[in-house]
Amino acid sequence: MKKSPVFFLLVFAVFLLSFTPFHFSTQDSLYILKMDASSKEERTAITSLGVAIEEVKPNYIVGIAHEDSLQKLTAHSFKFEAKPLKQFLLDFPVKDADFHNYSEMEAELKSFAEKYPHIAELSSIGESIQQRKLYIMRLSGPTPSSTPKPAIIFMGLHHAREHLSAEVPYFLIKHLLENYGKDEKITQLMDEREIWVLPMVNPDGAEYDIESGVYKFWRKNVRSEGADRMYGVDLNRNYGYRWGQEGASDNPRAETYRGPHAFSEPETQAVKRFVESHPNITILLSYHTYSELILYPWGHTYHDIEDPQDFGVHKTLATEVGRITGYKPQQASDLYITSGDTTDWSYGTHGIYSFTIELYPGSMWEGGFYPSAAKIQKVVHDNIPAALYLIDTADHPRKVLPNLN
């Protein structure tokens, strides 16, 4: 998606400085809201009512919600301030050259497979609702192995408006391919591991977010009841582990709509089939934006992972990734409860050590979902060493525990 580096930082500043009390209108549109919420229990209640919480501060949250979710907040006596999202789109960029839309990503991945056939294999794990292929790249050296190599999977763009979350896995692919045979450590890792990278879990939503030339702040996939009845499903609330509990909405118009049942969407079904058919995967990482966080299970409960060694591995890996990136490591539910999310499912069902990285920026003030394209390379630079660390650990993740070395 070709865009200029202009973004809405100043517009959002005006938004925070000029809040007025919210009055309901009959227009079906998105709103950005700010509301007091100092505890994870309050934040869980808020997100269960359909608000997508995007920024957590000590005493308040910034979120995005549809009008009917705001009505539910009022009915539950929550106090908030909100403005229509369309007020932030007055100067939005038409194009931004350094991000990849779907066709550009497809072309780049095919080019990599053609240029590096001995170490890169491109395939599709399925198709989206609109029949776009869900491309995945296998990266591994040609060294023979009598048993399956330890594997790791990186995924991006579950949420449509989080375009930066597709750039990091894309540039990870590029970095590994261009440095194989040149960098001793990367060559070793690729020879000894099977690295899977799925840059766009939600290509339909990503295209829908940019198709008009003005960002829609779209989060979900493109599930609809016809051209004029788009509602979408939040793919990161559609996985099967503890699906349908707190932290997701049963309202199709809500930002956190979980779908009619677990794995109702072709995108999550495809991820499910792929993971189930690759039992050698030991680590899963899902990139999102924004907030600069390293999150690990559980998301569906405030309790820690029950197995003390698994908890220790998650915490140790998250801490080290946080040290490398400068992001804050924490258990996902310390923010608020979520149910049906990717990493609870991959760990809870398959025992895979699983992480969500919320990438740059740290706040709406720095660009939120749409930071300057000039920041892409810095974010990639900050995150590739962490990816290499996890690839290195994938042979035996429990080795990071001191008593198991």
pLDDT at 86: 65
Q: Where are the domains of the chain?
A: 9-88, 102-396
DSSP-assigned beta bridge partners for residue 82: 33
**d(Cα 220, Cα 52) in Å, to the nearest integer?**
11
pLDDT of residue 38: 84
Q: What does the mean pLDDT of the chain come to?
A: 89
CA distance 164 to 162: 6
pLDDT given at position 66: 85
Q: What is the pLDDT of residues 129-152, one digit of tens each?
A: 999 999 999 999 998 878 899 999
| CATH for the stretch 102-396 | 3.40.630.10
Q: pLDDT tens-digit profile of 70-109?
A: 888 888 888 888 878 765 543 335 456 689 999 999 999 9
E strands, 194-243, are 194-198
77: number of Cβ within 10 Å: 6
pTM above 0.75, yes or no: yes
9-88 and 102-396, same CATH topology = no
Q: Give phi and psi for 88, each to the nearest 5.
A: -100, 0
CATH code, 9-88: 3.30.70.250
* Candidate list 55, 121, 358, 366, residue with the active-site label: 358
Dist CA 95 CA 57 (whole Å): 31
Phi and psi at residue 35, to the nearest 5°: -150, 150
Residues 307 and 351 sit within 8 Å (Cβ to Cβ): no
Residue type, 221: N
Please confirm, yes or no, whether 358 is among the known catalytic residues: yes
